[in-house]
Structure 1
Amino acid sequence: MAGVLDTVDQRTKLVGQNRLELLLFRLGDNQIYGINVFKVREVLQCPKLTELPQRNPVVRGIAHIRGGTISVMDMNLAMGNEPLDDIENCFVIISEYNMAVQGFLVKAVERIVNLNWENIHPPPSGAGKGSYLTAVTEVDNRIVEIIDVEKILSEVSPMEEEISNDVIRQDTVDQASASDLAVLIADDSSVARKQIKRCVEKVGVKTHVVADGRQALDHLRELIDAGESITDRYIMLISDIEMPEMDGYTLTASIKEDPRTQDLHILLHTSLSGIFNEAMVKRVGADNFLAKFKPDSLADLVQERVKDALAKRNG
């Protein structure tokens, strides 16, 4: 237990410093790609895969690892390229997204690098709407492309996005709509932004959406400079953790350290669902944490904020 706690403390020291560790890998060519180490459980030589009938073509098979069974997806194929060959000499990155474990087949694994989120940038506008990139950076004078894994997973294994009928409280929806309540959303994944926006608006709350933490903080400071009250404008901020320019931890710390914004309710909403999150959330002062994507749980939390905001307005 002491070893685990030491590791947690070691990792949480990066919180508020806007840093991340990136595992670099290659697919079918010499292009370097990256994935956040927090999402990686282990990397191993590709084990024997068992093919399943009627499987998604991107899933090359299932593997039995550490007493469990996981699906192994060909990341190159998932991005619209040719399937990887000679898979016995490929590697599998075992990762945890959205409270599920899956494997990604890659050609080769390079190394782990420690970077500043300020050096991670949104993909170029020419990448197009169908791009599987969520960010780009540079390591040793080479471009590193960070893949939007949530987009891949949404296409291979779509998650339930609809809110259950018994979760939506119509009286809350009516009051939220009439009171013009709004939520600020920050997420670099286009898929996640659409999911969250749809969920929030289903309960009668308006949304303002930005693509990273820097944009969110700039937006809040612009409102302050214009003389607006942040808590009058927004009942909460729903923020991803992994974002280019400024991550969700640093965004939260910046908001909570500023007396003009510190009362804004912050929900960190992320596909990072590992052991370190609870300690990190407490350290930066976020009000709540929710692993992606649970539409019912998210709707419940937003409706609770609506209730609190209305009670405050009505004094």
Structure 2
Amino acid sequence: MSKLLRNVNQRTQMAGENRLELLLFRLQNGQLYGINVFKVKKIIPCPPLTQMPYHHPHVAGVANTMDGSLPILDMLSAIQSGKVDNPRSQQVILCEYNRKMQGFLVDKIENIVNMEWSDIVLPPKGIGSRHYLTSVTRYDGRLVEIIDVEKVISEVTPLPEDMNAQITEDFGELKTSEVPRKVLVVDDSVVARNQIKRCLEKVELDTVLLKDGKQALEHLKTMADEGKKPWEEYLLMISDIEMPEMDGYTLTRQVKQDDRLSELFILMHTSLSGVFNESMVKRVGADNFIAKFDADDLAMAVLDHFRKRTTPAAS
């Protein structure tokens, strides 16, 4: 499997083409799951684990790896489907989310498959709000569940959402501006959407929350069909990259290629790892890019754009 992962960062030609590669794996419950290959750093046999006092029940232990001491999460426990019997018999997927490395215990690695984002859809309605899925798909006739890893991590190690008081004061100085104070937020993770919403509420900005790129593009095109200019309704759009139906790269390119929408400022906000991100942002025409999630970084990126719209450069 390490051989399959060796050329992950050489697969960027799919980015922006609404395609991705999923690493398929199973947990001890037998269900098939998937994770975007771009989030995976490596796969290793579970090393010896050290138990830490007062550790979270979903943390199987801490492992000393070539990447340092990392928490190893029991994914089966985290999604409330049981608990791994023998962690040392498991594989560990080492991933980078929200600027931090962590490992996830999995029972069996299956393979890597090339898919279109349009084949990945939101979970079916009626399964409630307590599930841990961002999306589902099918491969070779089998259901593949894609876990909301950000939700799992936020329950184990919640990210701080406090904001620098100076940033809040700086936003206060712009209260009299006629620039729109509404932000379009597009992200398939309910945790990420709500983090952004709470962050922007602290600086008195309103939000419209959507779950994927297809919804967002339809929303913007409907506005344009009604004769509205999206950049006059929204201060900006904050978009994730990984989303079912239509990814953030494709959404951005579609918006920037439509003359009715192209002036809308797009800030890409993603937990995806890989050095290709910033070059891809430029390639698809996005206006800015930041990694998830830091309340100050997000607020400053929004504030910088707010100021530019309030005091446009002289012609």
TM-score by length of 2: 0.93
CA drift at 1:119? 0.3
Does the 8 A contact of 2:95 with 2:101 survive in 1?
Answer: yes
Q: Which residue of 1 aligns with 2:172?
A: 171
Q: Which residue of 2 aligns with 1:290?
A: 290
CA drift at 1:171? 3.0
Q: Which amino acid aligns with 2:307?
A: K
Identity %: 49
Instruction: Confirm whether residue 151 of structure 1 aligns to residue 147 of structure 2.
Output: no
SS of residue in 2 equivalent to 1:13: helix
Q: Which residue of 1 aligns with 2:135?
A: 135
SS of residue in 1 equivalent to 2:166: coil
C-alpha change, 1:313 and 1:221, in structure 2 (3 Å) is farther
Q: Which residue of 1 aligns with 2:76?
A: 76
Does the 8 A contact of 2:180 with 2:232 survive in 1?
Answer: no
Does the 8 A contact of 2:90 with 2:107 survive in 1?
Answer: yes
Q: Which residue of 2 aligns with 1:30?
A: 30
Does the 8 A contact of 1:213 with 1:248 survive in 2?
Answer: yes
Q: Which residue of 2 aligns with 1:3?
A: none
**2-side partners of 1:219 and 1:10: how far apart?**
34
Q: Which residue of 1 aligns with 2:190?
A: 190
Does the 8 A contact of 1:12 with 1:279 survive in 2?
Answer: no
Does the 8 A contact of 1:11 with 1:276 survive in 2?
Answer: no
C-alpha change, 1:224 and 1:118, in structure 2 (3 Å) is same
**2-side partners of 1:31 and 1:173: how far apart?**
51
Does the 8 A contact of 1:27 with 1:106 survive in 2?
Answer: yes
Does the 8 A contact of 1:26 with 1:108 survive in 2?
Answer: yes
Does the 8 A contact of 1:172 with 1:306 survive in 2?
Answer: no
C-alpha change, 1:282 and 1:11, in structure 2 (3 Å) is farther
SS of residue in 1 equivalent to 2:14: coil
Q: Which moved more, 1:243-252 or 1:299-308?
A: 299-308
CA RMSD of aligned residues (A): 2.0
Q: Which amino acid aligns with 2:158?
A: P
SS of residue in 1 equivalent to 2:254: helix
Q: Which residue of 2 aligns with 1:57?
A: 57
SS of residue in 2 equivalent to 1:69: strand
CA drift at 1:141? 0.5
Does the 8 A contact of 2:172 with 2:203 survive in 1?
Answer: no
CA drift at 1:230? 1.6
CA drift at 1:145? 0.2
Q: Which residue of 2 aligns with 1:214?
A: 214
Gap runs ≥5 in structure 1: 1-6
CA drift at 1:9? 7.8
Q: Which residue of 1 aligns with 2:3?
A: none
Q: Which amino acid aligns with 1:284?
A: V
Q: Which residue of 2 aligns with 1:264?
A: 264
**2-side partners of 1:288 and 1:172: how far apart?**
23
CA drift at 1:147? 0.1
SS of residue in 2 equivalent to 1:269: strand
CA drift at 1:309? 2.4
Does the 8 A contact of 1:173 with 1:205 survive in 2?
Answer: no
SS of residue in 1 equivalent to 2:176: helix
CA drift at 1:44? 1.3
CA drift at 1:117? 0.2
Does the 8 A contact of 1:15 with 1:283 survive in 2?
Answer: no
**1-side partners of 2:202 and 2:69: how far apart?**
36
Does the 8 A contact of 1:239 with 1:267 survive in 2?
Answer: yes
Does the 8 A contact of 2:8 with 2:38 survive in 1?
Answer: no
Q: Which amino acid aligns with 2:176?
A: Q
**2-side partners of 1:46 and 1:312: how far apart?**
55
CA drift at 1:221? 0.1
Does the 8 A contact of 2:9 with 2:274 survive in 1?
Answer: no
Deviations 1:236-292 (A, max 9, x none): 110000000000011011111112211111110011132221221121111111001
**2-side partners of 1:260 and 1:50: how far apart?**
57
C-alpha change, 1:118 and 1:46, in structure 2 (3 Å) is same
How many pairs are equivalent?
309
Q: Which moved more, 1:302-311 or 1:238-247?
A: 302-311
CA drift at 1:32? 0.3
Does the 8 A contact of 1:96 with 1:274 survive in 2?
Answer: no
Q: Which moved more, 1:298-307 or 1:191-200?
A: 298-307
CA drift at 1:12? 2.7
SS of residue in 2 equivalent to 1:111: strand
C-alpha change, 1:268 and 1:31, in structure 2 (3 Å) is same
TM-score by length of 1: 0.93
